Amino acid sequence: MGLLSILRKLKSQPEKEIRILLLGLDNAGKTTILKKLAAEDVAHITPTQGFNIKSVQSEGFKLNVWDIGGQRKIRPYWRNYFDHTDVLIYVIDSADQKRLEETGYELAELLADEKLAEVPLLIFANKQDLLHASSAAEIAQGLSLHMIRDRPWQIQACSAIVGEGIKDGIEWVSANVKKK
Amino acid sequence: MIAKCSSKMFLLLTQNFKYYLSCLYYYIHPAVKWFLRRTTGLCELQRICYGAPEGAPRNFSVERSLLQSRSKEIQAAVAYLNRTSKERQFKGNKLEFALQYIVETVLVVKKINALAHPKFPILLRQSVEVVWGYNQLEQEIVCLAGTHFDSSNKDHEAKLMELWSLLKPDAPLRSRVTKQWQEIGFQGTDPKTDFRGMGVLGLENLLYFASKYNSSAKQVLAHSHHPQFGYAFAIVGINLTSMAYHLMTEKFAKTHMYNVCSKLPSIDSFHLLYCYLFVEFDKFWIQARPKDIMEFSHIRENFETKIRKILSSNQRAAFKVQVSNDLSI
């Protein structure tokens, strides 16, 4: 590596930082999405106790992604991370039809919180690789997403483990970050 | 900016320096070995076996010496050891054969008279058994972590039920799917999804801890219910399985295993390392006096850094499960 290229690399480029909050029930796939974004191995992910945070470069943005545990006992702590959130990503296990109501309830709570007012919402309908997964459209209907009118929102089908759909979701995020 | 740049240059230089040093070593080492062999009348492996203290210092040196050997015969014997341990066939008759193969090859190649050196074959054998046994154990761990927990598998289910009755002997489960699982720190009403990532290995680890160190496990479980310093016992347990798994696959656990095992390391050796980690993490967590569970990630990271530092800086590191009297919170 020549000295010039080292110097060029060291030259700091001002980047826009985006704070992203990754929420959803336990076992939805939040940490897998986080690791996939950071291009890390997703083979051995264990349930999140507390939270994980990673900074990822994407499309000229620096994404600071906060992945908070989804276990019921941890959900009360979600609020502590709401401040200055630019985008909310809500992850749903599309194959867990039994808990669709529960996940809908938690999402409604989030949307009603004034700290998250007007924050763009991306919903990942995850685990599309599983045979009995509901489609994004079915989930959108089940959760009555069309009722959301106070913010830009999008539902994106994906399979974090396979790596499909994540990039499309992040493109939507970059395009819909609130202009500061 | 200049400081940043010069530090980068410095890094490049030191990296190159290390490279030159290893080149030098590559060419000088055989000459040193030849000189020592002439003056002491012993080959490198003999000097290691007689001179290095038992445990990790000797096992690491034997491993390095065998892997660096330039003798075609020894390389072939080492390749056989690698293959048998990787295929997890390093047991029974094959183990016996592999050990004889390497020992005899060394005796012939290095022209060692076994009658004049009766202790050498025994010491060499022992080191080879532990070193390649580690490789085999690593394969076994990877396999167990890759085996998904399957609720239609009777064996898996029986183990899960046993875990419950060991930790909660006085409170029978009301049904298979129940909120009760949260009392021992699973996330929801069915533990099966929590085993993702570490597979059956997570369950086996928990079960070993709960059966071999039942009172310690119950004590740790009681700590996990503390109003401020509480945590999810089973979930933290599965996170610690992941920590132990990576210590194994990233070879940090070698120091420990090479010190505590005098024979073939077994899955129990891994379980014991896990139990040590669990008991120690519990103490570490309480001593850190966390504000709430959201401090878990960084406290876990500090704990792991501490463990890795011990394993990489102290060649005599050997962890022993500390069964203590109740630690008052």
Residues paired with residue A124 on neighbouring β-strands, in sequence order: A91, A156
Interchain proximity A44–B238, CB inside 8 Å = no
How many residue pairs from chains A and B have C-beta atoms closer than 8 A?
Answer: 77
Query: What's the token pair of residue A108?
Result: 């409604």
Is the Cα dihedral B295, B299, B301, B302 positive or negative? Answer: positive
Distances in Å between the Cα of A31 and the Cα atoms of A121, A145, B139 are 18, 24, 26
The 10 Å Cβ neighbour count of residue B7 is 10
Q: Which stretches of chain B score pLDDT less than 70?
A: 1-7, 11-13, 324-329
Rounded Cα distance, B4 and B90, in Å: 50
* Whether A71 is catalytic: yes
Helix, strand, coil share of chain A (percent; to 5): 35, 25, 40
pLDDT in tens, A52-83: 999 988 777 899 999 999 999 899 999 999 99
CB nearest to B293's CB, from A3, A6, A49:
A49
Query: What's the token pair of residue B307?
Result: 């463990």
Q: How confident is the model at residue A99 (pLDDT cuts 50, 70, 90)?
A: very high
* DSSP character string of A57-106: EETTEEEEEEEE--STTTGGGGGGG-TT-SEEEEEEETT-GGGHHHHHHH
Q: Does B179 touch chain A (CB under 8 A)?
A: no
- Residue A14: per-residue pLDDT: 58
Residue B35 neighbours by CB under 8 Å, 6+ apart:
none
- Residue A180: per-residue pLDDT: 46
Rounded Cα distance, A7 and B6, in Å: 10
B199: left (phi over 0), alpha (psi -120 to 50) or beta: left
Give A69 to chain B, closest Cα distance, Å: 9
A128 annotated ligand binder? yes
∠ CA(A114), CA(A119), CA(A121), 5° rounding? 120
Q: Which pTM does this prediction carry?
A: 0.89
Query: What's the token pair of residue A110?
Result: 């989030």
**What ipTM, to 2 d.p.?**
0.85
Q: Are strands A51-58 and A61-68 parallel, antiparallel or unpaired?
A: antiparallel
Residue B167 neighbours by CB under 8 Å, 6+ apart:
B184, B210, B217, B218, B221
Interchain proximity A46–B294, CB inside 8 Å = no
A29 annotated ligand binder? yes
A24 annotated ligand binder? yes
Given a cut of 60, whether residue A11 has pLDDT beyond it is no
Interchain proximity A46–B1, CB inside 8 Å = no
Question: Residue for token digits 């533990």?
Answer: B191
Interchain proximity A6–B8, CB inside 8 Å = yes
Chain B window 204-263: which residues touch A at a Cβ cutoff of 8 Å?
231-232, 235-236, 238-239, 241-242, 245
Give A170 to chain B, closest Cα distance, Å: 25
